Amino acid sequence: MLGKIEYKPNADVAITGDVYLARSNILEPTMVHVEGNTGNRDDWQMADYSKVTTAGGYVTGATVNNVQMDNLNARWKQDMTNFATGLNGKFKVEGWQLEGNLARSTASRDTIWSAVQMTMLQPGAVTWNFPRDEWMTYSFSKDTGNPANFSTNVGEQWGPTYAGKLRDSLNSQQLNASQPVNWGDITKLKFGLRATQREKSYSQTSWNYASAATIPTLAFQRVTVDGRPDFIELADGFGNAVTKYFGAAALSTDGRTPTTSDLVQNNWRAKESNTALYTQADLSGTTFGGLSYRGNVGVRVAHSSQTGSGNEQINGGAVTPVSTGAGYTRLLPSLNLILNLDPEDAFYKKISDYIGISSVAGTFNGKAASYTSQVNRDGGHVQGLEFIYQQAFTSLPAPWNGLGMAANYTYTDSNIKEHGDRSGASFKPIDTNDLM
């Protein structure tokens, strides 16, 4: 769903509001053949192998006896909602151009996964062929689509069953003001304020069915898939069959609490807020004997803060909530100038600092440890030459008179090194010239 409304009572006022809503639901049933006893580590299964084919030193096919072939039925269910709304206003007041924006967006994703496995009553022989760069084929000596060949004792598999909830929200506010001026080479003044607040979280709850269930043979049906041995599936549908034979609450999160593994590995929350205030002057003029230039000069003050929350468990102890965060304020001056030269350009950039990957010393459980993380790296310079050529072939006859060409060549040189720790000892630094 998409909606938009505009209000413009005169040439000096324009207000726009919009809203967007999208929902999608995924229900993905899965059938998988699960083979056991095909591994041959240390030749322990060699007696059951025959008709082995190889290519380039790799086994690409064989027939293996005494293989247990099972059938997995699973279901992946996912419901997603995306919502966004915004309000924009533009105003002209005594030469000033004012613009304000308010926006909010949210996203949610609810998922649930579960699977059961049907076991064949007797093992058989599997023949498989997996040539390089081709689709794998396989066959089984027994009918994998006959429900009578499977045990009626069915259990949960590839578990545990789990349900996850992802939530993401972003709010933003922005105000800009600008006014043309005639102050020498200064042609326009701009001021602005922007703030954002984002929060993202994920929570998971997992559980196992209470026990295995006895499902009669008549509750399964054959499924044929081209190019594969037949499958069997729950005739009533996965959800109906699971709740019927494993209990009405088998796929419900009601009354369940997250496990220790859920809390430590899969439950987290992150928050970030950013605020920036800037002022800028647009420039235009001539210099160096009449060459024209344009650009801008300004300064931005930015404040950012982040908080991350989760849980930890140390040496099998109790699960404990943990939270940490960081914040900083930066003064960021900026000067951008473009000098219009007729034949070619050259450039030079001075970089005071940047975000890179580094090995950082720390501790874990009271012992020294090294962490690989993003850090503020030392700066340097990037310099180089860039040549640009453009030509329009306007003298060609139709329909070729619209053709043209554009070519450019860029050479850069830099003293900035990447992928090294601050001592330069843990990793071999990579020259950034190799990355461009």
pLDDT in tens, 130-180: 887 788 899 999 999 999 999 999 999 877 999 999 999 999 999 999 999
**368 assigned to some structural domain:** yes
How far from 391 is each of 86, 150, 397, CA to CA, in Å? Answer: 44, 74, 16
Contact 208, 259 (CB under 8 A): no
Please tell me the predicted confidence (pLDDT) of residue 18. Answer: 97
86 phi-psi bin (left φ>0, alpha ψ -120 to 50, beta other): beta
Q: Are strands 220-223 and 137-140 parallel, antiparallel or unpaired?
A: unpaired
Give the confidence band of 191 by pLDDT, cuts at 50, 70, 90: very high
Average pLDDT of span 41-65: 88
Q: Which residues contact 57 (CB under 8 A, 6 or more apart)?
A: none
Work out whether strand 291-312 and strand 320-339 pair parallel, antiparallel, or are unpaired.
Answer: antiparallel
380 in any annotated domain: yes
Residue-level pLDDT at 341: 65
Give the span between the Cα atoms of 405 and 394, in whole angstroms: 11
Judge whether residue 263 has pLDDT over 80.
yes
Inform me whether the pLDDT recorded for 431 exceeds 50: no
29: left (phi over 0), alpha (psi -120 to 50) or beta: beta
Per the DSSP assignment, residues forming a β-bridge with 191 are 177, 279
Extended strands (E) in 157-267:
161-183, 186-207, 213-214, 220-223, 231-234
Question: In the predicted model, what is the mean pLDDT of the chain?
Answer: 88
> For residue 264, is pLDDT > 80?
yes
d(C-alpha 354, C-alpha 377), whole Å:
5
Q: Does any domain span residue 375?
A: yes
In a domain, 209, yes or no: no
Confidence band, pLDDT 50/70/90 cuts, at residue 435: very low
Q: Does 345 reside within a domain?
A: yes
End-to-end Cα distance, the chain: 43
Q: Would you say residue 396 lies in a domain?
A: yes
Q: Supply the pLDDT for residue 163.
A: 97
The owner of tokens 């970030």 is 272
The conformation of residue 265, written as its DSSP 8-state character, comes to I
295-332 pLDDT per residue, tens: 999 999 999 999 999 999 998 899 999 999 999 999 99
Quote the pTM value.
Answer: 0.72
Q: Is residue 147 part of a domain?
A: no
User: Whole-angstrom Cα distance, residue 309 to residue 321?
Assistant: 7
Task: Give SS3 for 433.
Answer: helix
Q: Is residue 389 part of a domain?
A: yes
Ramachandran category for residue 28: left, alpha or beta (phi over 0 → left; psi -120 to 50 → alpha): beta
Number of structural domains (the chain) is: 1
- pLDDT tens by residue, 93-138: 999 999 999 999 999 999 999 999 999 999 999 999 988 778 889 9
- Which residue range is the domain that position 379 belongs to? 341-436
